[in-house]
Amino acid sequence: MFRAHMSVTRIWQLIEKRMMSCISVRGKLPGLQRAVGEVRRKSSFRQSPLLSAAPVRALIDEQISIKGRFLSQNYPVTVCAQMHSEEGDLWEAFAHYTTNASRSINLTSDHSVGGSYLGCEPMGLFWALEPALRSRESLRLRKRNVETPYIVNISLLEGHTSPSEGQSTELAAVTVERWYMAPGVRRIEIRQNKIVGTLFLPPGPGPFPAMLDLWGMGGGLSEDRSALFASRGFASLSVAYMGHKDLPGPPDIMSVADLYFKSAFQLLQDHCQVDADRIGVIGLSFGVCLTLRIATRIGVKPSCLICINGPVGSPLLDEDGKTKTIESDQKHWELDDRGRVSFRHVSLPDNLPPENKQKVKNITCPLMYIVGEDDLCAASTENADVIEEALRSAGKSQLFTRLSYPGAGHLIEPPYAPCARVSLWRAKPEKLFTLWGGHPAPHAAAQEDSWKRILEFMETHLRR
**Where are the CATH 2.60.40.2240 domain residues in the chain?**
50-179
Which member of 96, 271, 410, 461 is catalytic? 410
Per-residue pLDDT tens, the chain, 464 aa: give them: 334 444 555 555 554 554 444 333 333 334 434 444 544 444 444 689 999 999 999 999 999 999 999 999 999 999 999 999 999 999 999 999 999 999 999 999 999 999 999 999 999 999 999 999 888 888 999 999 999 999 999 999 999 999 887 778 999 999 999 999 999 999 999 999 899 999 999 999 989 999 999 998 888 899 999 999 999 999 999 999 988 999 888 877 878 889 999 999 999 999 999 999 999 999 999 999 999 999 999 899 999 999 999 999 887 777 776 766 666 677 888 888 888 999 999 999 999 888 888 999 999 999 999 999 999 999 999 999 999 999 999 999 999 999 999 999 999 999 999 999 999 877 777 788 999 999 999 999 999 999 999 999 999 999 87
DSSP 8-state class, residue 283 = E
Catalytic residue among 375, 380, 423, 450, which?
Answer: 375
The pair phi, psi for residue 146, each rounded to 5°, is -80, 0
Decide: 374 and 439 in contact? Cβ < 8 Å: yes
375 noted as active-site residue: yes
CA separation for the pair 31, 28 (Å, rounded): 9
410 is catalytic: yes
CATH 3.40.50.1820 for domain 186-463: yes
Burial of 354 from C-beta contacts in 10 A (0-12 / 13-18 / 19+): exposed
Architecture of the CATH domain 50-179: Sandwich (2.60)
Q: What is the location of CATH 3.40.50.1820 in the chain?
A: 186-463
285 catalytic? Reply is yes
Active-site residue identified among 285, 342, 423, 450: 285
> CA distances (Å), 359 to each of 261, 290, 312, 392, 425, in order?
17, 12, 9, 13, 30
